[in-house]
Amino acid sequence: MNKDELLKIKENALERHIPIIMDDTLEVIDKYLTEKRPEKILEIGTAVGYSAMCFSEFLSDGGSIDTIEREEERIAEAKENFKKVGVQDIITLYEGDAVEILPTLTEKYDMVFIDAAKGKYPFFLNQALRMLNKNGIIFADNILYKGYVMSDYNKHKQRTAVRNLREYIKEVMENPELKTEILEVGDGLAISRYNKDMANI
């Protein structure tokens, strides 16, 4: 992996105000990746490919990442970035709307990273659970969404997204098969693991 190129891609994205994974969020996920060395990762929301490239460093031998992006400009940039960093052979980019692509996927994943349309998080969760290995983990980024999710203020234009993020949190917290924690890193990170006690019943 060309880490110099990766740093340039990060700095360029920040200069252009393209949302990428925040450093403190990445640090939390990196700790998990270092310990588990997953074989298969699914990312919902590629943007310029920065987070997928960061995750790829921690894959087990022969591991790979599937990532989904719908914006044509971002797709072209991400593909170019994968080549620059030298990870194009281990990252597959699915082009199109995740709502349409996810139901067609049949792989099993050790980790799912959700960072796409906030209003679709409950749908993404249901799809992720369908494909998650029993020892797998789901990370949902921006889950607190600028503080709106935990506040009573609901008169802003993002109220649909906020309502669905709240629904996501409710679902993962009440699902007996999951153990979930919400961390106040970045813009909020939900971490959901299969509850091993329940998974064996």
Q: What is the CATH number of the domain that holds 12?
A: 3.40.50.150
Q: Is 62 left (phi over 0), alpha (psi -120 to 50) or beta?
A: left
- Which residue range(s) make up the domain with 172? 3-199
Beta bridge partners of 194: 178
Q: Which residue has the tokens 């980019």?
A: 93
> What share of the chain in percent tops pLDDT 70?
90
SS3 141: strand
**Count of residues making up the chain:** 201
CA-closest candidate to residue 187, choices 176, 158, 200, 198: 158
Least confident of 24-28, 107-111, 142-146: 142-146
Contact of 49 with 81, CB cutoff 8 Å: yes
Beta strands at 178-183 and 189-194: parallel, antiparallel or unpaired: antiparallel
Q: Give the pLDDT band (50/70/90) at residue 194.
A: confident
Task: Tell me the average pLDDT of the chain.
Answer: 91
Residues 62-117 have pLDDT tens digits of 999 999 999 999 999 999 999 999 999 999 999 999 999 999 999 999 999 999 99
Contact of 39 with 133, CB cutoff 8 Å: no
CA distance 86 to 46: 17
Query: Can you tell me the mean pLDDT for 130-149?
Result: 85
Give the distance, in angstroms, between the CA of residue 126 and the centroid of all CA atoms in the same chain: 14
Q: Domain total for the chain?
A: 1
CA distance 86 to 81: 8
CA distance 75 to 79: 6
Q: Is 45 left (phi over 0), alpha (psi -120 to 50) or beta?
A: left
